[in-house]
Amino acid sequence: MLIDPLPYESRLQARPLSQIDLVVIHCTELPDLAMAREYGERVLYPEPDAPEGTGNSGHYYIDRDGKVFQYVPLQRIAHHVRGYNPRAIGIELVNTGRYPEWLDSRNQGMDEPYTEAQVASLIALLRKLQDELPSLRQIAGHEDLDTTTTSASDDPRVQVPRKRDPGPLFPWPRVLEAVTLERLLW
Instruction: Give the residues lining the site for Zn ion (CB under 5 A).
Output: 26, 142, 165
Q: Which is nearer to Zn ion, 18 or 148 (CB)?
A: 148
What letter would DSSP give residue 13?
P
- Which run of H or of E encompasses 47? strand 45-47
CA distance 165 to 138: 17
Shortest Å, Cβ 175 to Zn ion:
16
What phi and psi values does residue 166 have, to the nearest 5 degrees? Answer: -80, -5
Query: Strand (E) positions, 100-179?
Result: 138-141, 149-151, 159-161
Q: Which is nearer to Zn ion, 15 or 162 (CB)?
A: 162
Shortest Å, Cβ 163 to Zn ion:
6
Shortest Å, Cβ 18 to Zn ion:
25
Shortest Å, Cβ 80 to Zn ion:
6
Q: Which is nearer to Zn ion, 141 or 180 (CB)?
A: 141
Shortest Å, Cβ 26 to Zn ion:
3
What letter would DSSP give residue 60?
E
Q: Which is nearer to Zn ion, 8 or 61 (CB)?
A: 61
Q: Residue 99 in contact with residue 30, Cβ under 8 Å?
A: yes
Q: Which is nearer to Zn ion, 145 or 152 (CB)?
A: 145
Give the burial class of 81: count Cβ atoms within 10 A of its Cβ; 0-12 exposed, 13-18 middle, 19 or more buried. Answer: buried
